[in-house]
Amino acid sequence: MMKHTVVAWMEDKPGVLNRVSSLFRRRNFNIESLTVGHSETPGISRMTFVVDGDEHMVDQAVKQLDKLVNITRVENFTARPAVIRELALIRVSAAGSERSEVVQLTDIYRARIVDVALDSLVVEITGPESRINSFINLMSNFGITEMVRTGRIAMTRGVGSVTHTGEVSPGWRPGTNQWTLSNGK
Amino acid sequence: MKLTGAQIVWECLRKEGVDVIFGFPGGAIMPTHDALLQYPEIRHYLVRHEQNAAHAADGYARSTGKVGVTISTSGPGATNLVTGLATAMMDSSPIVSFTGQVPTTLLGNDAFQETDVTGVTLPVTKHNYLVTDVKDLAQTIAEAFYIARSGRPGPVLIDLCKDVQLSETTFEYPEDVRLPGLHLSPVPDSDALAAAAELINEAERPLILAGHGVVLGNASQELLALIEKAEIPVVNTLLGLGCIPHQHPLCLGMGGMHGEFCTNQAIQECDVLIGIGMRFDDRITGRLDEFAPTARVIHFELDEAEIGKNVPVDVPVIGDCKDTLAAILPYVEEQRRPQWMDTIRAWQAETAKREITELEFEDLIPPYVMQQLYETTEGNCFVVSDVGQHQMWEAQYFPHQRPRQLITSGGLGTMGYGVPAAIGAKVGNPDALVWAVVGDGGFQMTMEELGTIMQERVPVKIAIVNNGFLGMVRQWQQLFFDKRYVGTPIMSPDYVKLASAYGIPAISVSERSDVSDAFTEANSADGPFLIEFKVKEEVNVYPMVAPGAAVDQMIRRPEPRVVQGRRGTQPSW
């Protein structure tokens, strides 16, 4: 079993996320995290999700998802060089002398303290999952009273952008059974 | 000129060339039904249950290759469609279903007859829409028809809020539909074609498994050209039956759970297995890890998600099989394979030894009914079967001649499908003879459609194979549950009286000698006709691959040991 990072682009229309989650559920895919938001193109959302499963499961997840009418493209980023990040907000008990230890560790991890209360601190940390996990491990010694994580987002490294269109989108003329391509042919 | 949403629905259907629609009215769809008065060229067939509207549209679509259309109301009118949509989804049948919905102002309020229909039907449709603005309506309908019939076809549902049907806008049917998320059938990949051809050319024992995709893709000619050039025998899936004529020397018949000895033996012994337009369903593969153990697998398939879903594939060939089969032909060498064909002929001869229909005995058995249906029609009819034992006997004993001849619920196995789907097939093919072949169980699920046959004057012929049991389940109970017949004995009404209540001529046949005459009478009758065949009760469908067994580990048809019985010679069952 391995964790696969998959990115999907979808039309920003009502119910699309429902279609995606319904598909994951009925095809029995193990989805560990799912993050969705705007992409560089208006009207197109970009979703990153993590499948916990074998090659067969991720292959099926990619192909079945690609069949949804509102999904314009699906790419498996697992084998590609990619920047993979996650964000977490962690509320840590930090009263008295423990406070300075938490502040110190936060510095070491290049995390930020975003809220301060009498007996606790809220720390914001971004980075690869492993770094966040290790920070959480340390913080749990002080007592984590609340936590939220976004799940992975990913972008490939190097030249070239991966955007929502993989190919020229075809047009279909209703009632005529004829095709037109967007380049006019 | 401004039109109402209701008028726009019919204008769009006219643009799409729709002239029949299967429906049932109700509150939330009333404006649309009302506007139908202005479109006399579109005929509305009133069904007796919305599920049957979907089945009828499905039968219409499968028999004609066109999109079938249904219309029904919100709430129960929409939820009743679900079984029909799921049936069409599993068997890739193009349907567009319109449902009424409460006005946009009441959406989400649990209003009278409100159901979240796009939510309910999401997993059983290829796509669905909720229309809340009349300006989106024409575009939505154009997209729905495109989605339903493009690529791997399937059902699309459009949920129409009542106020959308009533509000007005300028009607313009879009000239162009762009769906960036819907991928077209790709151009056949020449590397894949070359790799597939190399495997085929080097194969000693190649075998084709041809499925519904060949029928849906109208690729029979291309398939024939390939098999005749390279002498490759063909096994069909249930829904692939008829994609090449049964009498073709390379046609072996149906494989899988109720496939003949020769077909399943060929699957297990072949060295290159070529799946075409099929999805390696469990009913065809049996136990997966022992399926075709010596074969390299080539898979011609339009839906990429089917590649490797169940069976590992060595060479996938993605695309519409009409294109890919035509494209591979030049790469494939002309070959004769006398040794392989001799082996297959020997298996066929072994299979024929256990043939039961030719035997002289008195019992009326279902295989004989199927054979006589073929004999009396000379194979010149549509056969729409229901689900169960009779469905398998039809598949085994009616030699299918052409694609689309057999219409049946394969993937979902929907009992009750037969009669309404036959209505759809007859509506789509008014000059053809259409036979619904159904069991006593399935018929009683949708027999209210006799009302549709009566009122709309749809002259379908119905053959009920009545064995007093839900036969397939009974067979499993006999074989795997120590003959504990729980819930399977089923009583029937007097079918002749029932039919006559609807004004449909009917006869009941219980003697073997009367079968042929009954069919002949029904075939030549102008209108609808119903025949009840009271067949021997506890007869099993053989061969049978037990669930979880490899396809060559079959329970074979018993040797026809003819014994002298009280009523003359009898086979031992």
pLDDT digits (tens, 9 = 90+) for B260-301: 999 999 999 999 999 999 999 999 999 999 999 999 999 999
**Catalytic annotation present for B112:** yes
- B307 with B430, same domain: the answer is no
Does residue B34 sit within a domain? yes
Domain boundary among B309, B327, B351: B351
DSSP3 helix / strand / coil % (chain A, rounded to 5): 25, 40, 35
**Catalytic annotation present for B309:** no
Instruction: Identify the active-site residue in B16, B22, B24, B50.
Output: B50
**Domain boundaries, position B397:** 356-541
pLDDT along chain B (573 residues), means of 10: 96 96 98 97 98 98 98 98 98 98 96 96 97 97 95 97 98 87 80 96 98 97 98 98 97 95 96 97 93 96 94 95 96 97 95 74 88 96 98 96 97 98 98 98 98 97 98 96 96 98 98 96 97 95 92 85 54 50
pLDDT value of residue B560: 67
B8 touches chain A (CB under 8 A): no
- B50 with B93, same domain: the answer is yes
Return all residues near B496 (Cβ < 8 A) that are at least 6 apart. B506, B507, B508, B530, B532
The CATH number of A2-80 is 3.30.70.260
- B517 with B384, same domain: the answer is yes
B174/A174 CB distance under 8 A: yes
Residue of B109, B197, B124, B119 whose CA lies nearest to B159:
B119
Scan residues 107-166 of B and list those with Cβ closer than 8 Å to A. Answer: 118-119, 122-123, 126-127, 130, 142, 145-147, 150
Q: How far is CA A120 from CA A110, A137, A146, A147, in A?
A: 19, 17, 10, 13
A171/B309 CB distance under 8 A: no
Q: Which residues of B touch A68 (CB under 8 A)?
A: 127, 181
Residue of B463, B382, B411 whose CA lies nearest to B239:
B411
Closest-CA residue of chain A to B116? A15
Chain B nearest-CA distance from A15, in A, is 9
- B410 with B499, same domain: the answer is yes
Residues paired with A120 in a beta bridge: A93
Q: Which residues of A touch B174 (CB under 8 A)?
A: 174
A64/B305 CB distance under 8 A: yes
A60/B150 CB distance under 8 A: no
Does residue B249 sit within a domain? yes
Q: Which residues of A touch B157 (CB under 8 A)?
A: none
- B326 with B367, same domain: the answer is no
Domain boundary among B329, B351, B373: B351
Instruction: For residue B3, report the phi and psi dihedrals to the nearest 5 degrees.
Output: -125, 155
A22/B123 CB distance under 8 A: yes
Q: CA angle B271-B276-B282, nearest 5°?
A: 80
SS3 assignment for B59-85: HHHHHHCCCEEEEECCCHHHHCCHHHH
- B55 with B133, same domain: the answer is yes
State the average pLDDT over residues A27-39: 92
Q: Token pair 């390696």 is at which residue? A: B280
Cα B248 to the center of its chain, rounded Å: 22
B178/A10 CB distance under 8 A: no
DSSP string, A67-79: HSTTEEEEEE-TT
Smallest Cβ–Cβ distance between A69 and the set B15, B173, B182 belongs to B182
- B273 with B227, same domain: the answer is yes
Does residue B571 sit within a domain? no
Burial of A81 (0-12, 13-18, 19+ CB in 10 A): exposed
pLDDT value of residue B380: 97
Q: Residue A185 and residue A29: Cα distance in Å, rounded?
A: 40
Smallest Cβ–Cβ distance between B118 and the set A15, A66, A71 belongs to A15
| Pairing status of strand B68-72 against strand B544-545 | unpaired
The answer, yes or no, to whether residue A178 has pLDDT greater than 60, is no
Mean residue pLDDT of chain A comes to 87
- B151 with B248, same domain: the answer is no
B146/A56 CB distance under 8 A: no
Scan residues 24-43 of B and list those with Cβ closer than 8 Å to A. Answer: none
Mutate to test the interface with A, among B132, B304, B310 (most CBs of A within 10 A): B304
CATH number at residue B423: 3.40.50.970
pLDDT value of residue B188: 86
B122/A19 CB distance under 8 A: yes
A72/B16 CB distance under 8 A: no
Cα Dmax for chain A: 77
Chain B nearest-CA distance from A69, in A, is 5
Question: What end-to-end distance do the CA atoms of chain A give, in Å?
Answer: 46
Mutate to test the interface with A, among B183, B187, B302 (most CBs of A within 10 A): B183
Residues paired with A178 in a beta bridge: A173
Q: How far is CA A138 from CA A86, A91, A94, A95, A126, in A?
A: 18, 13, 13, 16, 16
Q: Which residues of B touch A63 (CB under 8 A)?
A: 304-305, 307
Instruction: Identify the active-site residue in B15, B30, B66, B113.
Output: B113
A66/B305 CB distance under 8 A: yes
B179 touches chain A (CB under 8 A): yes
**CATH 3.30.70.260 residue window(s) in chain A:** 2-80
Q: Looking at B383-462, list the stretches that DSSP marks H as alpha helix, in order from N- to C-terminal side.
A: 389-397, 418-428, 440-446, 450-456
Chain B nearest-CA distance from A171, in A, is 5
**Catalytic annotation present for B570:** no
Q: Residue B286 and residue B217: Cα distance in Å, rounded?
A: 26
B305/A10 CB distance under 8 A: no
Q: Residue B212 and residue B153: Cα distance in Å, rounded?
A: 11
SS3 assignment for B123-139: HHCCEEEEECCHHHHHH
SS3 B23: strand
- B319 with B430, same domain: the answer is no
- B385 with B503, same domain: the answer is yes
Helix (H) or strand (E) holding B406: strand B406-407
Note whether A51 and A61 are within 8 A (CB): yes
Count of CB contacts below 8 A, A vs B?
74
Other beta carbons less than 10 A from residue B107's beta carbon: 15
Closest-CA residue of chain A to B131? A14
Return all residues near B143 (Cβ < 8 A) that are at least 6 apart. B129, B177, B179
Dihedral sign, CA of A132, A134, A135, A139?
A: positive
Domain boundary among B142, B170, B198: B170
B182/A26 CB distance under 8 A: no
Does residue B176 sit within a domain? no
Does residue B177 sit within a domain? no
Number of domains in chain B: 3
pLDDT value of residue A179: 45
Instruction: For residue B77, report the phi and psi dihedrals to the nearest 5 degrees.
Output: -60, -25
pLDDT digits (tens, 9 = 90+) for B484-517: 999 999 999 999 999 999 999 999 999 999 999 9
pLDDT value of residue B569: 52
Mutate to test the interface with A, among B104, B127, B182 (most CBs of A within 10 A): B182
B178/A175 CB distance under 8 A: no
Pick the CATH number of A83-153 from 1.10.3720.10, 3.40.50.300, 3.30.70.1150, 3.40.50.150: 3.30.70.1150
Does residue B328 sit within a domain? yes
Instruction: Identify the active-site residue in B2, B112, B353, B537.
Output: B112
**CATH 3.30.70.1150 residue window(s) in chain A:** 83-153
Does residue B181 sit within a domain? no
Does residue B466 sit within a domain? yes
**Catalytic annotation present for B304:** no
- B52 with B120, same domain: the answer is yes
Smallest Cβ–Cβ distance between A173 and the set B176, B182, B303 belongs to B176
- B226 with B328, same domain: the answer is yes
